[in-house]
Amino acid sequence: MTELKNDRLLRALQRQDVDRTPIWMMRQAGRYLPEYRATREQAGSFLDLCKNAELACEVTLQPLRRYPMDAAILFSDILTIPDALGLGLYFEEGEGPRFRKTVRSEEDLAGLTPIRAADDLSYVMNAVRTIRRELCGQVPLIGFSGSPWTLATYMVEGGSSKDFAQVKGMAYDRPELMHQLLALLADAVADYLTEQVNAGAQVLQIFDTWGGALSAAGYKEYSLKYMQRVISRLPTEADGRKVPVIVFTKGGGQWLPAIADCGAQAVGIDWTTDIGVARSQVGDRVALQGNMDPAMLFASPARIREEVGSILSSFGHGGGHVFNLGHGITPGVNPDHVTAFVEAVQELSPQYHTAH
């Protein structure tokens, strides 16, 4: 494999000191970029874009041409696994993802198509291999999956939800059925992420988008436990390097000490938690990723720079910080404001590191 020219992210995730704080953005390949919108139009649909390795590679690389990010993240969707399980994923304009079938009974669960990621999600692995080749060792490639609980919410609800009535109803009223579904998903996610590493992914992130919708006890039972199951089955090294895992639970700030013990090397936090408080809670057990409010990118470049400075100051000196947004970038953001964001991190962060 090509030697990695910029391993700043990998070193920060292992809590080693670096010359400056590394930066990447959740959804950095996305609708805020005009070139992304043009490529998506060329692909015909969002799913067609995900399934075309060359075009998925193109949109993955687009933000790196504009911004000196410290990582590329695979362009795909968290719902690839439920789609492969036979639920029939489709997207409605303005409505988000939908499934033609749901899983609400033992019969529904028994009717799921067993999958092997290497075969049934080969288009994702083709994209990983293509991106890795085209990156030429410029920066590491992040692979990802939705968490078992997050995938289950879409599979039970049939799409996005405001109140999670169906899936939480199942968890609280039919816990055995929910545990069966989550166990199946945890094993599928572990297989999927392992195959991404085999194809060339160098970092893995588990997106637990809806873990924060659960109660404290429910989170540990239905979300965290199954992420631990996934992490325990992942390869820890590839190409002679460690493969770090980042866990990101949106709305999970109140459970940080428990999340820090799940086996991941890093914990992503959203913008509702002060990163300095988070660091005091987890100590040196894990690196932290985050956590500027994505809406801050609608502010002036001067205000963005001020906020970056505030977050860096709150985290303080030393390694173990990866700068990111507290969730994915908002589609309507001006790309020039992202430039201001990235430049601010690059210019203001070296003072917090002894390696610069």
Residue 92: its pLDDT value, please? 78
Q: Is 173 annotated as a binding residue?
A: no
Determine the distance from the C-alpha atom of residue 320 to the mean position of all C-alpha atoms in its chain, rounded to a whole number: 18
Whether residue 147 contacts residue 189, with contact meaning beta carbons closer than 8 Å, is answered with: yes
C-alpha to C-alpha distance for 203 and 140, rounded to whole angstroms: 7
Q: Which position among 27, 104, 229, 279 bears the catalytic label?
A: 27
100 is in an annotated binding site: no
Q: Is the pTM of this model over 0.85?
A: yes
Catalogue the E-assigned strands of 134-219.
Answer: 141-146, 203-208
Domain ranges of the chain: 8-352
Q: Binding residue per annotation — 154? A: yes
Buried b (16+ CB within 10 A) or exposed e, 289-327: bbbbbbebbeeebeebbebbeebbeebeeebbbbbbbbb
Residue 38 near residue 59 (C-beta atoms within 8 A): no
> What percent of the chain has a predicted confidence (pLDDT) above 70?
99
Rg value, the chain, Cα? 19
pLDDT band at 350 (very low <50, low <70, confident <90, very high): very high
Instruction: Decide if pLDDT at 355 tops 80.
Output: no
Q: Find the mean pLDDT for residues 278-305.
A: 97
| φ, ψ dihedrals at 146, nearest 5° | -75, 155
The reply to whether 27 belongs to the active site is yes
- pLDDT band per the 50, 70, 90 thresholds, residue 284: very high
Is 90 in the active site? no
Q: What is the pLDDT of residue 191?
A: 98
Q: Which pLDDT score, from 0 to 100, does residue 262 have?
A: 97
Provide the pLDDT confidence category of residue 356 given band limits of 50, 70 and 90.
Answer: low
Q: What is the pLDDT of residues 248-279, one digit of tens each?
A: 999 999 999 999 999 999 999 999 999 999 99
Q: Which of 31, 66, 233, 303 is catalytic?
A: 31
With beta carbons less than 8 A apart as the criterion, state whether 172 and 97 touch.
no
Contact (Cβ atoms closer than 8 angstroms) between residue 353 and residue 75: no
Q: Is 270 a catalytic residue?
A: no
The predicted structure's pLDDT at residue 96: 85
- Can you tell me which residue has the tokens 């988008």? 209
Q: What is the pLDDT of residues 88-112, one digit of tens each?
A: 999 877 778 999 999 999 999 999 9
Residue 40 has pLDDT above 60, yes or no: yes
Binding site annotation covers 190?
no
Mean local confidence (pLDDT), 207-223: 98
pLDDT of 1 = 55
pLDDT > 80? residue 2: no
The fold of the 8-352 domain, in CATH, is TIM Barrel (3.20.20)
155: nearest Cα among 121, 196, 189, 204: 189
Closest listed residue to residue 150, CA positions, set 107, 214, 73, 217: 214
Per annotation, catalytic residue among 32, 36, 67, 154:
154
The model's confidence at residue 178, banded by pLDDT at 50, 70 and 90, is very high
Q: Which amino acid would we find at residue 228?
A: Q
Given the residues 77, 108, 187, 274, select the one marked as catalytic. 77
Look up 154 and say whether it is catalytic: yes
Q: Is 28 annotated as a binding residue?
A: yes
Query: Does the annotation place 8 within a ligand binding site?
Result: no
Active site includes 40? yes
